[in-house]
Amino acid sequence: GAVVSQHPSWVICKSGTSVKIECRSLDFQATTMFWYRQFPKQSLMLMATSNEGSKATYEQGVEKDKFLINHASLTLSTLTVTSAHPEDSSFYICSASLAGGPLTDTQYFGPGTRLTVL
Amino acid sequence: KNQVEQSPQSLIILEGKNCTLQCNYTVSPFSNLRWYKQDTGRGPVSLTIMTFSENTKSNGRYTATLDADTKQSSLHITASQLSDSASYICVVSRSNDYKLSFGAGTTVTVRA
């Protein structure tokens, strides 16, 4: 149980285009989903926290207009990288929490999406 | 500052041998500590989770220990296999919010 999927698993796009990444909780409802970015040989860095039906909370230094997050249902959150540039190339990982609310810390991670911007 | 430090940064071991990875943290207030295995190009997969009152937790050939007083944890891999080659990440969560503090990981390479 507690399986999280991401689509696509990898994507290559031209500079200036937008890319949408989907994160789905397959066998549970996730009130809260998290988006992380990981550069090579570095730790996961939290980008934003999204709660179903409300606006996402972005970490300091993350541009909310560039990284659009939509959490329209309890099983789906999307991250759209707008006007992508080569420096946005990274490994994007989502996670979903079984129980919602500010005190939850049980996160299940997706397999990640490799984004390469040419 | 809530930090998680892991050592070593990387290590190479021969198949069948044991190894121990270290994690020191300053995260407070402490909720739990998890060890994750992350294969290259994949998302992290949970190996163990320990709360304040737990000193050790095993998952097959993986055994994690926790000393909440010294804020140290270790992950011991017994009889390593080639499939153990991965990055092992120590993650600590606080009891007052949902955010996780990640270590940079230890890259383990098992060679035949």
Report chain A's C-alpha Rg in angstroms.
Answer: 13
Residue-level pLDDT at B95: 82
For A77-90, write each residue's pLDDT tens digit: 999 999 999 999 99
Measured over the CA atoms of residue B19, residue B24, residue B27 and residue B29, the dihedral's sign is positive
How many whole angstroms separate alpha carbon A46 and alpha carbon A79? 13
- Check residue A99 and give its pLDDT: 58
- pLDDT value of position A31: 81
Q: What is the pLDDT of residues B2-58, one digit of tens each?
A: 699 999 999 999 999 999 999 999 988 888 999 999 998 889 998 999 988 899 999
pLDDT at A103: 42
What pLDDT, on the 0 to 100 scale, is given for residue A97? 84
- Distance between CA A50 and CA A33 in Å, rounded? 5
Q: Which residues of B touch A49 (CB under 8 A)?
A: 98
- Residue of chain B with shortest Cα separation from A114: B41
Give the Cα separation of A76 and A109 in Å (integer).
14
Instruction: Inform me whether the pLDDT recorded for A105 exceeds 70.
Output: no
Separation CA A24–CA B73 (nearest Å)? 32
By the 8 A CB rule, do B103 and B89 touch? Answer: yes
pLDDT at B105: 94
Number of residues written out for chain A: 118
Q: Characterise A74 by phi-psi region: left (phi > 0), alpha (psi -120 to 50), beta (else).
A: alpha
B84 by DSSP, 3-state: which? helix
Distance, CA of A38 to CA of A44 (rounded, Å) = 5
CA distance A65 to chain B (A): 22
Token pair 């500010």 is found at A102
Structure confidence at residue A118 (pLDDT) = 95
B chain contacts of residue A109, beta-carbon cutoff 8 Å: 36, 43-45
Over residues A19-68, the pLDDT tens digits come to 999 999 998 888 889 999 999 888 899 999 988 878 899 999 999 999 99
